[in-house]
Amino acid sequence: MILVSPVADDIWVVAPDGRLDLTAAGELEEALTGLLNEGRSRLVVDCSTVTYIASAGLRVLVIALHRARNLNGDFRLAGVSGSVQQVLRMSGLEAVFTIHPTLAEAVAALKAGTMSDTTAS
């Protein structure tokens, strides 16, 4: 299941849950594409309940990051931990995404307009 909700200042949170495998990656892509097609380009993906991410999930995140930035927006990951963090690190994508330890920190950084390179530990 993917939850999508506005938080503030046209910032939207997309929260996948559990395993981001091929099926869930398609659902995440639908949610992110829908927001981006509506011009909503300030996005946070809350990964705090994601336990696994497949290459299809990584692909969706990379595409959404590029689309958001092409729309003069921004794209953050929050709450990344465990095996998901390890996959991001091993794939080299940890350096590509702006990652915040918590959803609140990611939203605050977007509100402030900062381009932090904070990574979850």
Q: Tell me whether residue 63 is in a domain.
A: yes
Q: Tell me whether residue 41 is in a domain.
A: yes
Look at residue 41 and tell me whether its pLDDT is greater than 80: yes
pTM of the model: 0.91
Look at residue 121 and tell me whether its pLDDT is greater than 70: no
What is each CA distance from 49 to 15, 56, 71, 80, in whole angstroms?
Answer: 8, 18, 28, 9
Joined together, the tokens standing for residue 53 give 């991410």
Look at residue 120 and tell me whether its pLDDT is greater than 90: no
What CATH number corresponds to the domain at position 98?
3.30.750.24
Work out the pLDDT band at 9, boundaries 50, 70, 90: confident
pLDDT computed for residue 113 by the predictor: 83
The 42-46 sheet, strands edge to edge: 2-8, 11-16, 42-46, 74-78, 98-100
Q: Tell me whether residue 117 is in a domain.
A: no
Q: Is 42 helix (H, G, I), strand (E, B) or coil?
A: strand
Pairing of strands 2-8, 11-16: antiparallel
Joined together, the tokens standing for residue 62 give 């990379």
Work out the pLDDT band at 118, boundaries 50, 70, 90: very low
115 Cβ contact list (under 8 Å, min separation 6): 74, 98
Q: Tell me whether residue 84 is in a domain.
A: yes
**Which residue range forms the structural domain that includes residue 84?**
2-112
pLDDT computed for residue 8 by the predictor: 86
Look at residue 115 and tell me whether its pLDDT is greater than 90: no
Tell me how many domains the chain contains: 1
Q: Tell me whether residue 121 is in a domain.
A: no
Q: What is the pLDDT of residues 54-87, one digit of tens each?
A: 999 999 999 999 999 999 999 999 999 899 999 9
